[in-house]
Amino acid sequence: MMVMRNNRLTVNTVFISNIPVDVEESTLKKQFETVGHIIHFRMFAPKQGKDFKSCIVEYMDDKTAETAISRLNGFLIGERALRVTVANNNSLRKRNREGNKTEDGRLLVDFPRSYMDPLLRTDGSPVLAALRTVPVEDAYEAVEQFRSLCLARRQDGIHLLEEFPALKGVIVMLLQHAGKLHQGPLPAEAYMSTPSEATGATPNEKKAGPSSRKETDEVLEMIKSLSDEEINKISSLTDEDLEKMTNKPQQQQMRMLRDRLVEMISNLE
């Protein structure tokens, strides 16, 4: 829905053009994240005969979008000045139309038309349909509360996931909505419980001593210092990638870090 305020058309999405072709998507996204939280970002390749790229950025509200326009329009990247304007109907399918807001104007969780439930791999998922009726801030708050529960009482979090299997899908979809996970289906091993998880401990945890606890603490400290890009890169490492590392202690530490990240992503711990 588009509203008039002081005779100005305002929306929560901006359109950026004149982007140098060699600029990485992640670099540009970080720049626009300095203004506020981004809920949708898409970059487009140069049109035929053009030597620049363009993109759309959707913020939580129109005020943040207006700030992005005033602060970043004319921002220099190399010798090019970005052109940042309000997006129009031709730039994207409006996601803040009336049907995607509550009666009091709060934005509801929404996904692109082609989005599929990453666990059930279908766009007709009842979980996905239910999520689209929940305000974004309420959904994010619920995920944060669950994360806090898992950090404080891991077993309680595991029991909740076992009792309500749909909760896994909710968490994954909201992490993808927030840009914390790449969109797309996930392999079963990323979210299926293992026998050791069901009993609340891994084989290593059963015989863990002071040394292993210290290593775990070191891994947790490392995770806190990682950027989203580094987390995505490390969590995607395969066993073959790790075997190529010649430094064995470093290989072991990186394996622990990867396994811990995968566990945190799947169980939100």
What structural domains does the chain harbor?
A: 13-92 (3.30.70.330), 97-188 (1.25.40), 213-260 (no CATH)
At residue 64, what is the residue type? T
Question: Residue 47 has what DSSP assignment?
Answer: P
Angle at Cα 231 formed by Cα 225 and Cα 232, nearest 5°?
160
CA distance 201 to 203: 7
Q: Structure tokens of 206?
A: 């059963």
User: Helical H runs in the chain?
Assistant: 25-33, 62-72, 126-131, 136-152, 154-163, 166-177, 195-198, 203-206, 210-224, 228-235, 239-243, 248-267
Task: Yes or no: say if 84 and 131 are a contact pair by the CB < 8 Å rule.
Answer: no
Per-residue pLDDT of the chain (269 residues; tens, 9 = 90+): 333 333 333 468 888 999 999 998 888 999 999 998 888 888 888 887 888 998 888 888 888 888 999 999 999 988 889 999 887 644 444 444 444 666 677 788 887 767 777 777 776 677 888 888 888 888 888 888 888 888 888 888 888 888 888 888 888 888 888 877 776 666 655 555 555 444 444 444 444 444 455 555 566 666 666 676 777 777 778 888 888 888 777 777 778 778 877 776 665 54
Enter the pTM of the model: 0.39
